[in-house]
Structure 1
Amino acid sequence: MDAIDRKIVSLLRDNGRLSQETLAQRVHLSRPAVHERVKRLEEQGILRGYQALVDWEALGLPITAFIWVRTSGTQCHEVGQLLMRLGNQESIVEECHRVTGEWCMLLKVRVALPLALQALIDRIRAVPDVQATMTTLALSTLNARVSGDEEVLG
């Protein structure tokens, strides 16, 4: 993977809907050359898919929180899969990361209201093998992955 491939990955990470023509202009190659590079990046598993960026506030889930989870035993993968399914109309577990240190997992969650966060934490604590949680609310998010070259505080 060279610098041009890295630039293509970066551009597609920022906006997965960029046309190959636009990519070609931005990396200063022909469209067929960009097509071949994108195809190769997909075949190598570097580009695994394309996704939509969600406006969580417009979706009714404006609050972001991070929940540290400590488990007993070694069934972290199974517990993580259970945690990912705990969402409902007022909350969603967006990401679950296995981490090192004092805690076993870090969840990124989106909720509608503080009471929805409380209810989600209660459901998390009720999962077998979950010993403890610690929650941090995000006040704002610095998002450097937006179209264009500017960073946005949202």
Structure 2
Amino acid sequence: MSLAPPFTTETAQKKVKKAQDLWNTQDPESIAKVYTSNSIWRNRDKFLSGTEQIVQFLTSKWQKEKNYRLRKELFTFSSNKIAVQFWYEYQDAHDGMKWKRCYGLEDWTYGDEDGGKMRKRMMSGNDVEIKEEERWFKDGVDVNSVDISESHW
């Protein structure tokens, strides 16, 4: 089954979970391969373009965000776009290793000629400090099995 556009409900959901699993590897080089070589990103207040900037950004991200665990869920989609809601937890190496959770939304755009690679990624997210006992994605927990209540959607 192709995960290239045009998307169906099934292929959009699979694309989201494939992205989730890839990002959870925290491997910038592998992750960058699913974006076009001239992909454009907005990640919070950062604007990026191209593979080299994506790899640099992700490398820096995971120097700060330790013990990172991510969950993505399909929000909506069209033939060549996917909107995703996500949550991730990490320990902030720049803030005394405090636990934080990011809540956010992404919109992804794919071109017809890109063979299923993403050409645009726009992300908005907000971090909140959490206590150890408030964590959802503890070691050994399948991020997909965590019951995230409506108040967190």
Structure having the larger proportion of residues in helix: 1
Name the TM-score, length of structure 2 as normaliser: 0.22
Name the TM-score, length of structure 1 as normaliser: 0.22
Structure having the larger proportion of residues in strand: 2
